[in-house]
Amino acid sequence: MEYNFREIEKKWQKRWVEMNTYRVTEDKSKEKYYVLNMFPYPSGAGLHVGHPLGYIASDIYARYKRLEGFNVLNPMGYDAYGLPAEQYAIQTGQHPAVTTEANIKRYREQLDKIGFSFDWSREVRTSEPDYYKWTQWAFQKMFNAYYDNREQKALPIDQLIKHLEKQGTEGLDAACSEELSLSAAEWKAMNEKAQQQFLMNYRIAYLGETMVNWCAELGTVLANDEVVEGVSIRGGYPVVQKKMRQWCLRVSAYAQRLLEGLDNVDWTDSLKETQRNWIGRSEGTEVEFAVKDSDVKITIFTTRADTMFGVTFMVLAPESELVEQLTTPEYKAEVDKYVAATKKRTERDRISDRKVSGVFTGAYGVNPLSGETIPIWVSDYVLAGYGTGAIMAVPAHDSRDYAFARHFNLPIIPLIEGADVSEESFDAKEGIVMNSPKVDSTTDTKQKNGETGLVLNGLTVKEAIAKTKEYVTRHHLGRVKVNYRLRDAIFSRQRYWGEPFPVYYKDGMPYMISEACLPLTLPEVDEYKPTATGEPPLGNAKYWAWDEEKQQVTDTDKIDHIRVFPLELNTMPGFAGSSAYYLRYMDPHNNKALVSKEVDEYWQNVDLYVGGTEHATGHLIYSRFWNKFLFDCGVSCKEEPFQKLVNQGMIQGRSNFVYRIVSQNSPSDNENTKHTAPVFVSLGLKDKYEVTPIHVDVNIVHGDVLDIEAFKAWRSEYNNAEFILEDGKYICGWAVEKMSKSMYNVVNPDRIVENYGADTLRLYEMFLGPVEQSKPWDTNGIDGCHRFLKKFWGLFYNNRTDEFMPNDAEATPEQLKSVHKLLKKVTSDIQHFSYNTAISAFMICVNELSQARCTNRHLLANLVVALAPFAPHIAEELWSALGNNGSVCDAKWPVYDEKYLVENEIQLAISFNGKVRYQKIFASDATNDVIEKSVREDERTEKYLEGMTIVKVIIVPKKIVNVVVKG
Ligand code: ANZ
């Protein structure tokens, strides 16, 4: 009987559904294992072969763990909110929900064909009210919480209110937007609005004034990567930096915990490093500088307090409030101009651009250590959102300060005597010996301030920093400060297709609609564009106001600000719905909680998370933050959501080319030329002509040979094409490029499944190379995997006679060894995600067993179970043919036995006076006497003796035999 993959796969996919094979419950008799894929955004283009790579890799692991006896949760769902559906809606009027539904349907069909072990009963869609109810709920919890720095956790905002009522801000150490201080009496004297405004500084979800990339033309805020050189990537419209009131999440409060948590998860070093850099912990000192002839003080942040004797000027960020306060009338016009110009530049441009620019404010600061007066400048290389937005500039030790000083001709004071200060010398100096601050200036300070002075001579940089920190603190010149680069997340988008905020506005302040009224469902709109007055798309909704008394949504035109209030018009960003989906999969139908305590305690967290590296600083930071917050609230029982993380590589496209001969005659020369058939020349002959390479659809090329008829039918202009062939074939050229529609190199998994079957597709995707590596899709090798499955099938069924061959025949030691060697390797390879080598091992083993005509039922059954994670359909079919009733998924993973792996023969090299002459095989338990005797008697020994005599025979066990001879 032949391997009929089409029938087998259809049959088992149907049975799996009928038997609920992949339905999983909280079975406490078993240990849990949670496998998760980063869920897809269902785009209109459907899946290409690159998409399932990670899903197959995790499916193999999930199936393996189940065979090992674990209760495995392997869910799937859709990140269903997103821009493409909305853009399409703007262009066509088609409701994004309709597009999304259609795309999901197509995704599901494609996924179903590949034979995944997903428990679809747990599917989630972020755009479903039942799901986003919990996104809104979490947001409200964040609104009603603040972060206590001492306890290092989120606490209910009521606790903060109690504290304020009792003692004002005294003794309060909480994460806040701005350091504030008030007394209990002052708090009580505030009206409701003022109190709400005050609390906004502490809430974990808060409305904050933040700088955003504002694109007036598109009517929305854009992310940094949607803007280049001051214009939007889409449309090329101007983008300016604008302060806007936006919902933000106080992610920065969790910076330290996000950093420390990385030590306890099993992620790649490079991913952890990326997150550490993103969080950007920096220990330094805040130092206060006085301003000459003014009461204003400038606080700067420095990581190099030891360089304070080398400060020659100060720089403020253009956005700093101090700029306006300090600029003298004389310099005002120029400063204003500069500040306005900065608004056009994104922070990213400012960081990457090394061009020097800046203006003098006319004001002077005073160095608290040396007492020297130094000019205060404004420049965009100082960022408003980092540190204090002001710096002390030390051109001799900092490259950007150096460039600035050189450009504006400001003094440069080297702190290492005799050191040459130039751009190249900075790195070399870092971390070596900090020789001394300039000795004169230390003496000067002593004289000026009457202080003991601060001598840093001969210290290392580290020691000098520590000493200066201590000095600065003791003299109340500043304080030790830890800064993080991690910013709060901007959480509002001016979009339609996202989660609505469960928020309404009263007297300009936001109020949460009651938890019992969640979810607040997304309203219908006539237009998906911003309104004529520049409000977000929800501004078009006619039914979008909150009746406070009735506790329900009502008509927008009923808004009277007395009983009926406007609802929030922004929606949540893409990362909202993906921040806690792994928790929802645990308990997807619970309408009382995001996840019940009991269920959460069973599944705990994700044991294996598989997805792309592109989420390193977005989703993987936000969801860790979100989970930590829920952990603080007692909802999630684990601090870290994703224990182990594997990043799958990208599958690149392998493009094919045909070569069109450039016409000798231009159309104007010859009226008929344009009717002339295009001529294409095969790869090997193309150098003889002038040709233009043209991408050709890889689906009409097989093994680099063009299907000429299909090519003619591909495009009308090629209907009458002519071909110059080699050996009767048209050979195409090829190149590895990104897999993309425009390069015609997109391979649809459906086609592969149709032609070779899902099991072949699964095997082949894994056989392409290590999971983490990027690699080109190359259909040329797929036949090999398909042949392997046929051969595997051939161990069970005789092709001609239809006989089912496994029987009770005894297995030979070789067969036992072959299978147990395989089991050992496959077990270890799966554990290390080294699937490609596991598959090679299968190929070797199946060859050996075929040659040996192995029919031992038991050995073959072991093989079927071991192959099941990789090729589940064929495994099910053979498992049932072997007489088993249930699914192969419920079999037991075969354990290898070392005893079959013991080598019973060894091969030794026989040498004469150190020169290896021949190899000889011995029983592995042969004694030295037996070996020596057999070497002496071997006829080859006589030949190599060349008439000499044996002095002695030295045996190095398991390695070599040396025959010492003498003439
Ligand atoms: C003096 C100094 C001397 C500095 C020296 C560095 C080297 P990290 O490590 O990233 O925290 N800085 C502080 N606030 C800044 C801002 N808002 N925009 C741009 N630069 C800022 O870097 C801290 C250092 O970056 C600080 O230490 C400050 O320059 C600068 F040899 O102060 B330093």
- Band (pLDDT 50/70/90 cuts) for residue 250 is very high
pLDDT, tens digit, 9 for 90 and up, residues 199-209:
999 999 999 98
Looking at the predicted structure, is the pLDDT value of residue 49 above 60? Answer: yes
Mean pLDDT of 814-830: 96
| Residue 892: per-residue pLDDT | 97
Contact (CB, 8 A) for 411 and 430: no
Looking at the predicted structure, is the pLDDT value of residue 674 above 60? Answer: no
The answer to whether 741 is a known ligand-binding residue is yes
Identify which of 286, 300, 301, 487 to mutate to test ligand 1's pocket (most ligand atoms within 8 A of the CB). Answer: 301
Looking at the predicted structure, is the pLDDT value of residue 442 above 70? Answer: no
For the whole model, what pTM was predicted?
0.86
pLDDT, tens digit, 9 for 90 and up, residues 564-610:
999 999 999 989 999 999 999 999 999 999 999 999 999 999 999 99
| Residue 954: per-residue pLDDT | 95
Task: Give the span between the Cα atoms of 5 and 11, in whole angstroms.
Answer: 10
Give the residue ranges of DSSP H helices in 664-781.
708-714, 749-756, 758-767
Q: Tell me if 394 CB under 6 Å of ligand 1.
A: yes
| Residue 43: per-residue pLDDT | 86
CA torsion, ordered 826, 828, 830, 833, to nearest 10 deg: -130
Mean pLDDT of 944-959: 90
What region does 132 belong to: left with phi over 0, alpha with psi -120 to 50, or beta? alpha
Percent of the chain whose pLDDT exceeds 70: 94
CA torsion, ordered 392, 396, 400, 402, to nearest 10 deg: 110
State the distance from the centre of ligand 1 to the C-alpha of 143, rounded, in angstroms.
33
Q: Tell me if 285 CB under 6 Å of ligand 1.
A: no
CB atoms within 10 A of CB 534: 11
Looking at the predicted structure, is the pLDDT value of residue 438 above 50? Answer: no
- Band (pLDDT 50/70/90 cuts) for residue 669 is very low
| Residue 575: per-residue pLDDT | 93
| Residue 879: per-residue pLDDT | 98
State the distance from the centre of ligand 1 to the C-alpha of 403, rounded, in angstroms.
14
Sorted by where each starts, the structural domains of the chain and their CATH numbers stand as 281-484 (3.90.740.10), 651-743 (no CATH), 905-966 (3.10.20.590)
Q: Tell me if 303 CB under 6 Å of ligand 1.
A: yes
Looking at the predicted structure, is the pLDDT value of residue 753 above 60? Answer: yes
The first and second tokens of residue 115, run together, are 């034979």
Most confident range (mean pLDDT) of 224-238, 591-605, 789-803 is 591-605
CB atoms within 10 A of CB 154: 24
The first and second tokens of residue 895, run together, are 């354990």
Contact (CB, 8 A) for 3 and 871: no
| Residue 441: per-residue pLDDT | 40
Which residue is associated with the tokens 């469902």?
Answer: 521
Contact (CB, 8 A) for 765 and 736: no
C-alpha distances out from residue 861 to 813, 880, 893, 895, Å: 17, 10, 11, 12
Identify which of 289, 309, 398, 404 to mutate to test ligand 1's pocket (most ligand atoms within 8 A of the CB). Answer: 398
Atom of ligand 1 nearest to the CA of 303: 27
Q: Is the dihedral of CA 931, 933, 939, 942 positive or negative?
A: positive
CA 692 to chain centre: 39
State the distance from the centre of ligand 1 to the C-alpha of 394, rounded, in angstroms.
10
- Band (pLDDT 50/70/90 cuts) for residue 84 is confident
Mean pLDDT of 482-506: 94
Mean pLDDT of 209-234: 78
| Residue 431: per-residue pLDDT | 38
C-alpha distances out from residue 170 to 160, 180, 258, 463, 472, Å: 11, 10, 28, 34, 24
Closest CA to 509 of 204, 199, 141, 154: 199
| Residue 364: per-residue pLDDT | 97
| Residue 13: per-residue pLDDT | 98
Is the model more confident about 852 or about 354? 852
| Residue 434: per-residue pLDDT | 41
Identify which of 309, 386, 415 to mutate to test ligand 1's pocket (most ligand atoms within 8 A of the CB). Answer: 386
Closest CA to 641 of 618, 608, 684: 608
Mean pLDDT of 144-164: 98
| Residue 430: per-residue pLDDT | 43
Q: Tell me if 391 CB under 6 Å of ligand 1.
A: yes
pLDDT, tens digit, 9 for 90 and up, residues 272-282:
999 999 999 99
Mean pLDDT of 698-706: 92
Longest alpha-carbon distance in the chain? 119
Looking at the predicted structure, is the pLDDT value of residue 782 above 80? Answer: yes
Looking at the predicted structure, is the pLDDT value of residue 779 above 80? Answer: no
pLDDT, tens digit, 9 for 90 and up, residues 834-891:
999 999 999 999 999 999 999 999 999 999 999 999 999 999 999 999 999 999 999 9
- 50 phi and psi, to 5 degrees? -70, -35
CB atoms within 10 A of CB 680: 25
pLDDT, tens digit, 9 for 90 and up, residues 464-487:
888 888 888 888 888 999 999 999
Residues sharing a CB contact under 8 Å with residue 765, sequence separation 6 or more, in sequence order: 49, 52, 53, 56, 651
Looking at the predicted structure, is the pLDDT value of residue 540 above 80? Answer: yes
Q: Range with the lowest mean pLDDT among 174-188, 867-881, 895-909?
A: 895-909
Residues sharing a CB contact under 8 Å with residue 478, sequence separation 6 or more, in sequence order: 285, 286, 287, 288, 299, 305, 368, 472
Q: Tell me if 350 CB under 6 Å of ligand 1.
A: no
| Residue 424: per-residue pLDDT | 53
Q: Tell me if 298 CB under 6 Å of ligand 1.
A: no
Total residue count of the chain as it appears in this document: 967
Q: Tell me if 483 CB under 6 Å of ligand 1.
A: yes
* Closest CA to ligand 1's atom 14: 387
pLDDT, tens digit, 9 for 90 and up, residues 372-427:
999 999 999 999 888 999 999 999 888 899 999 999 999 998 876 555 666 555 54
- Band (pLDDT 50/70/90 cuts) for residue 452 is very low
- 949 phi and psi, to 5 degrees? -115, 155
Closest CA to 385 of 459, 483, 514: 483
* Closest CA to ligand 1's atom 27: 302
| Residue 421: per-residue pLDDT | 62
Mean pLDDT of 348-364: 89
Closest CA to 335 of 326, 327, 344: 327
Task: Give the span between the Cα atoms of 337 and 359, in whole angstroms.
Answer: 10
Q: Would you call 549 helix, strand, or coil by DSSP? A: coil
Q: Tell me if 434 CB under 6 Å of ligand 1.
A: no
DSSP assigned state of 254:
G
Q: Range with the lowest mean pLDDT among 233-247, 491-505, 580-594, 915-929?
A: 233-247
Atom of ligand 1 nearest to the CA of 389: 17
Is the model more confident about 93 or about 377? 377
Q: Tell me if 304 CB under 6 Å of ligand 1.
A: yes
Q: CB pairs under 8 A, 24+ apart, for 686-692? A: 686/659, 686/733, 689/659, 689/661, 689/662, 690/661, 690/662, 691/659, 691/660, 691/661, 691/662, 692/659, 692/660, 692/662
* Closest CA to ligand 1's atom 26: 302
The first and second tokens of residue 771, run together, are 């999971």
Helix (H) or strand (E) holding 376: strand 373-378
Atom of ligand 1 nearest to the CA of 282: 11
Is the model more confident about 676 or about 828? 828
Contact (CB, 8 A) for 74 and 112: no
